Amino acid sequence: MKAPVPPLELSLAEARAAIAAQLAPLAGERVPLRLALGRVCAADLFASRPSPSCDQSARDGFAVAAEPLFTDQACAVFHIAGEIAAGCAAANTLAPGQTFRIMTGAVAPSGTARVLPFEICQENGGQVRVPLAELAHGQQHIRRQGCKVRRGELLAAAGTRLMPNHLRLLAEDGCEEVAVRRQPRAVMVCTGSELMQAGEVLPLGGKISGNGVLLTALLEEQGCVCLRCCIAKDDADSLAALLAEIVERDQPDLLITTGGMGPGKFDLTEQVFARLGGEPVYNRLRLRPGRATLFGLLGGRLPFFGLPGPPPAVRLLFHELIVPALARLQGEEIFGGFVRARLDGPAPALQPDCTVLKGAVAWVDGEGRLRARPAQGLEPPNAILHLRGDEAELVSLRLIGPLAAAGSAGRRR
């Protein structure tokens, strides 16, 4: 018979705060800019130069001085002094009455009042005629130095996950490598004597384990490196030996188990955690699914999550508990909060003493209102409903993916 374990029960909000209190951002490292996509900045990144670096033409056309050579009743006339292509490094100056033929991105010569697009100009005999009505317009078609980025401007703050546009700005600033947080490294252990790896002969009562593939995909989506995924039988000695070997050999930043959490005879995760000297932070949550859920430290330093076995529960608890933990380890400050949505159809059964999590499909209806309904069957959820007994028509949800198309989201399959 299993020895009883004293309950350490928290709410979901208390659990997230307790997890964050046990974690600190990982050390920084420098990586080439081409490898920095999805990594989290370890320090503020500032522009070392303005962009553009000088006044540039925004159109193919003629850079003209403020004063024309002469005017008649309909047009202003300028003398063509030369041509400036993009990339030309020569310093050019416009005298009154002059113009340079200029290409998009080329350096605007000193004294340029504006750039006139080719299509509004008439070129003939070394001169350009421009209708006076066009000169009356205010458009200059010049990108002024620093109009996009000023020298010293913040390009990406510490704690920012670098996206493609960040990389473009950093590349244009001449950055070759960037300081980022080290990626967390995780090991997963799926417990259950019935579990088999894909490709193995499936005996009667056996089951192919899907949690390892699910967790690997979810972790990698959050910028985590998955060192390996193991299957463990429902045997305390072999599970303890496997976890001890993982701690010693892999030295991960995160250890996650699935299954083996609960009051059953073969639910051994909590017992083995205690045997290895684990220090629990909580072992029970006021939450469904996830009432029997564990978080603590192994060896005083290794974050350990003991999740239940059903894949839908693993997915929900991953987003609610492990995603903010990974954000904390990577120094990322932002974790998506709740939004309010209208529930489409009757609410799932509620629990009087806890929050009920439910995978959902969320979309914006034709009137611009956010709506949601429980996901059906094999439908992938893009949101998680947080259902409590005190909510009426509007419910709280957390988005975990793009909103569904309005035309199909409301249809149950």
pLDDT (tens place) for every residue of the chain, 413 residues total: 556 667 889 999 999 999 999 999 999 999 999 999 999 999 999 999 999 999 999 999 999 999 999 998 899 999 999 999 999 988 899 999 999 999 999 999 999 999 999 999 999 999 999 999 888 877 899 999 999 999 999 999 999 999 999 999 999 999 999 999 999 999 999 999 888 888 788 888 888 889 999 999 999 999 999 999 999 999 999 999 999 999 999 999 999 999 988 777 877 999 999 999 999 999 999 999 989 999 999 988 999 999 999 999 999 999 999 999 999 999 987 666 889 999 887 777 777 788 999 999 999 998 899 999 999 888 999 999 999 876 656 889 999 999 998 755 555 44
Structure-token pair, residue 403: 């909103």
The answer to whether residues 134 and 256 belong to one domain is no
Are 372 and 358 part of one and the same domain? yes
Both 277 and 191 in a single domain?
Answer: yes
Domains identified in the chain, total number: 4
Whether 343 and 286 share a structural domain: no
| Residues 367 and 282 reside in one and the same domain | no
Instruction: Assess whether 249 and 382 both reside in one domain.
Output: no
Please indicate, yes or no, if residue 151 is contained in any of the structural domains. no
203 in the same domain as 238:
yes
- Looking at the structure, do residues 213 and 200 belong to the same domain, yes or no? yes
From the list 287, 302, 203, the residue with the least C-alpha distance to 244 is 302
pLDDT at 58 (0 to 100) = 95
Q: Does 303 fall in a domain?
A: yes
- Closest by CA to 286, choosing from 23, 20, 16, 21, is 16
List CB contacts of 340: < 8 A, sequence separation 6 or more: 370, 394, 395, 396, 397
Q: Are residues 130 and 167 in the same domain?
A: no
Which pLDDT belongs to residue 335?
61
Give the model's pLDDT for residue 137: 79
Q: What is the pLDDT of residue 316?
A: 96
Q: Tell me what pLDDT residue 409 has.
A: 55
Residue 162 lies in a domain: yes
Residues 152, 57 contacting (CB under 8 angstroms):
no
Identify whether 205 is part of a domain: yes
Co-location of 202 and 318 in the same domain: yes
CA distance 143 to 58: 6
Pick the last residue of a domain from 143, 167, 201: 143
Q: Note whether residue 334 is domain-resident.
A: no
Asked if residue 269 and residue 208 are part of one domain, the reply reads yes
Task: Look at strands 207-208 and 195-196 and give their pairing.
Answer: parallel
Specify if 152 maps to a domain: no
What CATH number corresponds to the domain at position 79? 2.170.190.11
Residue 385 lies in a domain: yes
Determine the structural domain holding residue 402 and report its residue range: 339-409
Q: Are residues 193 and 66 in the same domain?
A: no
Strand residues in 283-338 grouped as ranges (E): 284-285, 287-288, 294-298, 302-307
List the CATH number of the domain containing 38. 3.90.105.10
